[in-house]
Structure 1
Amino acid sequence: MFTRRALFAAALAMTALPAFAQNIERPWVSTDDVQAMLDAGDTVFVDFKATWCGTCKVQERQIDAILTEDPSLMEQIKFVNVDWDEYGNDDFTKSINIPRRSTLVLFDGRTEIGRLVAITDRDQIFDLIDMGVE
């Protein structure tokens, strides 16, 4: 007979990220920095997040796991964080219609390729990232 604790541990293990996932360094930047990268024609994955946001933390773990499994993605795409609390009402943020924290947006130069809002599913996040790979 399984105890409630054993069932919880088994369920948690099935949903946990790989043990090798680590916190990948993705710099915190301003919206001016993002605009400069886009103007330069870079492919940029922007994570609009807040340090206190639970959904953002799950997204961060998923992104870290993806980048740990394939670090070459960071050679093709610039991955950056934008602080929602600081830049949520910024002109740039408003101009691209970012509705809330936990929004992930992929750009190729000035062109938005795709976005996810409050999505934590690893496959959907990977699919968004993959759209920026040549």
Structure 2
Amino acid sequence: MNRRTFLMTTAAAALMPALASATQNYTPGLVDELLAEGKTVFIDFKTDWCTTCAAQERVIGGLLSNNPEYAENIAFVNVDWDNYADDDLSIRLRIPRRSTLVVLKGEEELGRIVAGTSRSQIQALMDTALTAAKA
């Protein structure tokens, strides 16, 4: 294993506990249930083989580790794009591809990132979700 692979694997493994404990895996109807409960929902459309998705996951995990308010106030949902690309949720939200992040509150979409991996961009989306959740 080369050094870069080792470092990326180690960093990802360190962030997994924070991310795993804060997220739910999508099943049909879950997002609608969370929204009906009044929750702000951060949806991550991803696959396990997508490098952009992995980069987004590392950023999200790091932000969750640094600020517990995200996990305390926002419902994080992972949608497996390979299984749910043609699901009602993906179609209704017009999700163009994997590596798409969307924040919803009630009937409103508060923001979206498609294939973006910038820490500042993802943090801004998570901050938007946090602000809405606390309102």
- TM-score w.r.t. length of structure 1: 0.82
Spell out the pairing of 1:78-89 with structure 2 (5 A cutoff): 78-89=75-86
Q: Deviations over 1:70-114 (max 9, x none)?
A: 112111111110111111111221111100000000111221100
Deviation at 1:52, TM superposition (A): 0.9
- Output the CA distance in 2 between the equivalents of 1:21 and 1:103: 23
Matched, 1:51 2:52: no
Spell out the pairing of 1:15-30 with structure 2 (5 A cutoff): 22-23=15-16, 24-25=19-20, 26-30=23-27
- TM-score w.r.t. length of structure 2: 0.81
Matched, 1:67 2:53: no
Deviation at 1:21, TM superposition (A): 5.2
Q: Is this contact kept in 2: 1:40–1:109, CA < 8 A? A: no
- Output the CA distance in 1 between the equivalents of 2:59 and 2:117: 7
Q: Between Structure 1 and Structure 2, whose CA radius of gyration is higher?
A: 1
Q: CA RMSD in A?
A: 2.3
Structure 2, unmatched stretches of 5+, are: none
- Output the CA distance in 2 between the equivalents of 1:47 and 1:20: 19
Structure 1, unmatched stretches of 5+, are: 1-7
The change in CA–CA distance for 1:131 and 1:21 in structure 2 (over 3 A counts) is farther
Q: Deviations over 1:27-46 (max 9, x none)?
A: 21124111211222210100
Look up the SS of the partner of 1:37 in the other structure.
Answer: helix
- Which is helix-richer, 1 or 2? 2
- Output the CA distance in 1 between the equivalents of 2:41 and 2:30: 11
Report the counterpart of residue 92 of structure 2 in structure 1. 95
